[in-house]
Amino acid sequence: MFRKTKKWSGAILSIALVGSILAACSSKNNDSGASSSAPAASPTSSSSESANASPSGSSGLDMSKHVNLQFYMLGDAPKDLSKIEAAINKMAQEDLNATVTFNYTTWTDWDQKYKLLLSTGQAIDLIFTADWTQYQSYAKKGAFLPIEDILPAAAPTLQKFVPQDMWDAVKVDGHIYTVPATFKEYVTNGFVWREDLRLKYNLPKPVDIPTFEAYLDGIKKNEPGIQPLAIGSDVRGALSDTFREISHNPVGAPLPYGIGIKYDKPGDVYSYWGSDEQLQDLLTYKRWADNGYISKNELNEKTTNQEKLTTGKAAAMLGDNPNRFNATLNQMQSTHPDWNLAYYPFPLARGFATPVHPIHNGFAVPKSSKNPERALAFYEKMVTDKRYNQLTQYGVEGTNYTVDNGYYKMVGDANTNGFPREAMNGWAWRNPEYMLFDQSFDGVKAIFDQLDQIAKPDIFTGFAEDYTSYQAERAALEQVEKQYLYPLIAGQVKDVEGGLKTFMEKAKQAGLEKAQAEYTKQWQQYLTESGIK
């Protein structure tokens, strides 16, 4: 009897050990797969909810039943959200016989949460979409409800308010899945540097890579205590992608799997990884690292680049958008009024600027929504009704802000005000007619005006990648990239050519060719469909 139990427990223990090892492995795999992949929107939700999709509101909006809408936005909820919610609900109850709950995901693991919200069939009526939340992929997989048939009845004003070409631009596979924001802005990159130091040592003004390098060199020589360039641990985003943007004239957003496409020859898809172009870039980064423009510790850096600028630890950033640049500048001057930052937009060097694509900010109705008509009707109010709009963007006038000479003015400061400007992260329901700007925004406006003169529409962001067939390769490539390419970009590998070769070998083992071939095929198809040559 005793022996028997002993045997049993021994067996269980060994199973447990093996099992825990397996579990550890698989959970790791899950993680990497999960973070990189959008969900296959669960079939149960799409099939069970498709019945709701039949437009019942074609004969006008039926508002006889009270509904409570679930509204989901990314980021942190402002402190005074409950007050705003109460005020909005009072109006919405009257206008639409509806109330709304504003839910915020917080920024902690927001991508994972976003995926869970959309794939588990939870009842959600409105959710934020953007190119950087993979709107195109989610839409392609059927996470959102097509709204083109509901719009005319539920939100006619909204339908007219958003220009037709924007509606067309957000279409995925011929359907409209999101309501685009109409505020025109630029999130293009630009050099950011310390203007006061540049003037002090009479350094050249950075307008391209050589002049930028000359500036870095000047800082290194004259200010040994300051690190010339801040990169941070995301070397690919902050160094490689940005560097490519200014030097190789690529299309739109950063391309995955080392794919290269030139803006003026979109039909030609080549492999940037392993190319001579990449080797030259890597050698440049290596030179920068060797000369001490960037820190040896860059890959472990936790402090944000903006913070390094404002505290005077670093003297330049390779790229940032006008809005963030302006925020950094204000932040810096609040503590160091004698310091100064300057900005040179990449578009001026490249000769054209693309305003954000309409899918950059939007709100969609998920498949799981129980009240799509009312949700859109409510969203129409948020965008086109001045009371709703300003309340959710700026808070209560008098308590949270005042309007001074046409400018927005915060009451108190960020530590005392429970609802600072755009505290609800309402980028998507901004209405240019009702927008109020802080006086400091004039700097951004000046840059936008400059960019307006060379504006060209963004024709490439509409491309929706579908990576279901090469999901495993995609996840594997991500790992290889982090392990072998990042140190190369950070200039930490002595033998750049050899390092690049190793990286290419590993990437090929991980399935680089398959991913690239599939991506190229889909890209070519997109070009033919949208008639771009």
Partner 1 sequence: MKIKEEQSTLVFRYVAIVILILGSVACLFPFLLILSASLTNNDSIIRDGYHLIPKEFSWAGYRTVFRFPEQVMRAYGITVFSTVVGTLLGLFLMTMAGYVLQCKDFKYRNFFSFVIYFTTLFGGGLVPWYILMTKYLGLMDTYTVLIYPGLMTPFLIILMKNFIRSAVPDEMIESAKIDGANDFLIYYRIVLQLSMPGIATVGLFLALQYWNDWFTTSLFINDTKLFQLQFYLYNMINAADSISKLGAGSGVNVAGDIPTESTKMAMAIIVTGPILFLYPFVQRYFVKGLTIGAVKG
| Minimal distance, residue 297 CB to partner 1, in Å | 11
Residue nearer to partner 1 on the CB measure, 1 or 51: 1
- What does the alpha-carbon distance between residue 160 and residue 220 come to, in Å, rounded to a whole number? 55
- Which one, of 324, 336, 61, 340, lies nearest residue 193 by Cα? 340
- Judged by CB under 8 A, the chain residues 371 through 410 that form the site for partner 1 are none
Binding mask 250-279 for partner 1 (x = CB under 8 A): ---xx-------------------------
* Contact residue for partner 1 among 278, 321, 371, 431 (CB under 8 A): 321
The region of 88-96, 208-216, 319-327, 492-500 touching partner 1 under the rule CB under 8 A is 319-327
Here the tokens at position 292 are 């001490």
Do 477 and 257 contact (CB within 8 A), yes or no? yes
Binding mask 32-71 for partner 1 (x = CB under 8 A): --x----x--------------------------------
- What does the alpha-carbon distance between residue 529 and residue 168 come to, in Å, rounded to a whole number? 13
Residue nearer to partner 1 on the CB measure, 313 or 370: 313
The region of 11-19, 197-205, 278-286, 396-404 touching partner 1 under the rule CB under 8 A is 11-19
| By the rule CB under 8 A, 328 interacts with partner 1 | yes
Cα distances from 113 to residues 45, 328, 348, in angstroms, run: 17, 29, 38
Q: What 8-state DSSP symbol labels residue 76?
A: P
* Contact residue for partner 1 among 8, 280, 387, 409 (CB under 8 A): 8
Environment class of 381 (CB within 10 Å of its CB; exposed 0-12, middle 13-18, buried 19+): buried
| Minimal distance, residue 395 CB to partner 1, in Å | 16
Of how many residues is the chain composed?
533
| Minimal distance, residue 310 CB to partner 1, in Å | 7
| Minimal distance, residue 338 CB to partner 1, in Å | 15
- Judged by CB under 8 A, the chain residues 160 through 199 that form the site for partner 1 are 185, 187, 189
Do 491 and 286 contact (CB within 8 A), yes or no? yes
Q: Using CA atoms in the order 112, 128, 422, 357, what is the torsion angle rounded to 10 degrees?
A: 110
3-state secondary structure 310-338: HCCCECEECCCCHHHHHHHHHHHHHHCCC
Residue nearer to partner 1 on the CB measure, 81 or 527: 81
* Contact residue for partner 1 among 14, 66, 93, 132 (CB under 8 A): 132
User: What is the pairing mode between strands 98-104 and 67-73?
Assistant: parallel
| By the rule CB under 8 A, 299 interacts with partner 1 | no
* Contact residue for partner 1 among 29, 303, 468, 502 (CB under 8 A): 303
| By the rule CB under 8 A, 25 interacts with partner 1 | no
* Contact residue for partner 1 among 182, 306, 371, 431 (CB under 8 A): 306
The region of 92-100, 107-115, 138-146, 395-403 touching partner 1 under the rule CB under 8 A is 107-115
| By the rule CB under 8 A, 340 interacts with partner 1 | no
| By the rule CB under 8 A, 207 interacts with partner 1 | no
Residue nearer to partner 1 on the CB measure, 356 or 512: 356
For residue 214, the one-letter residue type is A
| Minimal distance, residue 503 CB to partner 1, in Å | 22
- Which one, of 166, 126, 141, 148, lies nearest residue 53 by Cα? 148
Binding mask 451-470 for partner 1 (x = CB under 8 A): --------------------
In 172-287 the beta strands, taken as DSSP E runs, fall at: 178-180, 190-194, 259-262, 265-271
- Judged by CB under 8 A, the chain residues 216 through 245 that form the site for partner 1 are 232, 234, 237-238, 242
| Minimal distance, residue 323 CB to partner 1, in Å | 6
- Judged by CB under 8 A, the chain residues 87 through 106 that form the site for partner 1 are 103-106
With residue 153 as reference, give the H or E element that holds it: helix 151-154
- Judged by CB under 8 A, the chain residues 420 through 439 that form the site for partner 1 are 425, 427
| By the rule CB under 8 A, 320 interacts with partner 1 | yes
| Minimal distance, residue 260 CB to partner 1, in Å | 18
The region of 14-22, 85-93, 167-175, 270-278 touching partner 1 under the rule CB under 8 A is 14-22
With residue 403 as reference, give the H or E element that holds it: strand 401-404
* Contact residue for partner 1 among 53, 63, 87, 116 (CB under 8 A): 116
Q: Using CA atoms in the order 395, 400, 403, 409, what is the torsion angle rounded to 10 degrees?
A: -120
* Contact residue for partner 1 among 327, 349, 454, 496 (CB under 8 A): 327
| By the rule CB under 8 A, 339 interacts with partner 1 | no
Write the CB contacts of 282 (distance below 8 Å, at least 6 apart in sequence).
488, 489, 496, 499, 500
Q: Using CA atoms in the order 200, 206, 211, 217, what is the torsion angle rounded to 10 degrees?
A: 50
The region of 148-156, 314-322, 399-407, 517-525 touching partner 1 under the rule CB under 8 A is 314-322
For residue 32, the one-letter residue type is S
| By the rule CB under 8 A, 23 interacts with partner 1 | yes
The region of 49-57, 328-336, 384-392, 433-441 touching partner 1 under the rule CB under 8 A is 328-336
Do 400 and 407 contact (CB within 8 A), yes or no? no
- What does the alpha-carbon distance between residue 86 and residue 89 come to, in Å, rounded to a whole number? 5
| Minimal distance, residue 157 CB to partner 1, in Å | 26
- What does the alpha-carbon distance between residue 195 and residue 453 come to, in Å, rounded to a whole number? 25
Residue nearer to partner 1 on the CB measure, 109 or 495: 109
Cα distances from 101 to residues 2, 85, 405, 413, in angstroms, run: 60, 7, 34, 27
